[in-house]
Amino acid sequence: MCHPLMITSVKTDIEELPNIPAFKLSVTVKLNGQTGVEMEALTGVSIGLLTIYDMLKAIDKGMVIQNIQLEHKSGGHSGDFHREETS
């Protein structure tokens, strides 16, 4: 976000969770380089969820955006990261 990146792909997945009701949004960013793109992926999720809020605010202004978090990262200077699942 503060320096040019050679991003090779961005994949966005949205899953409806009707029992809650909620949506789960995942963004995967890849690049060929030696820097991470966690901030780009987290920004993508944030903007995507804000877009969903904007489209649905006429139905429910009380929606909550929560649990934006890094799930997995591989490569880069700091190495791999995998979030432990909690039950």
User: pLDDT tens digits, the chain, 87 residues: what are they?
Assistant: 567 888 999 999 999 999 999 999 999 999 987 788 899 999 999 999 999 999 999 999 999 999 999 999 988 778 889 998 765
Q: How many domains does the chain have?
A: 1
Residue 18 lies in a domain: yes
Active site residue 54: yes
Q: Which domain holds residue 73?
A: 7-82
Residue 7 bridge partners (DSSP): 31
Q: Which of 13, 54, 60, 80 is catalytic?
A: 54
Distance of CA 81 to the CA centre of its chain: 15
Tokens 């877009």 identify what position? 51
Residue 28 lies in a domain: yes
**Residue 33's closest CA among 2, 69, 74?**
74
Q: What angle do CA 50, 51, 56 make, to 5 degrees?
A: 95
What pLDDT score does 69 carry? 95
The secondary structure of 56-80, three-state, reads HCCCCCCCCCCCCCCCEECCCCCCC
Residue 74 lies in a domain: yes
Phi, psi of 23 (to 5 degrees): -125, 145
Residue 2 lies in a domain: no
Phi, psi of 40 (to 5 degrees): -65, -40
What pLDDT score does 5 carry? 85
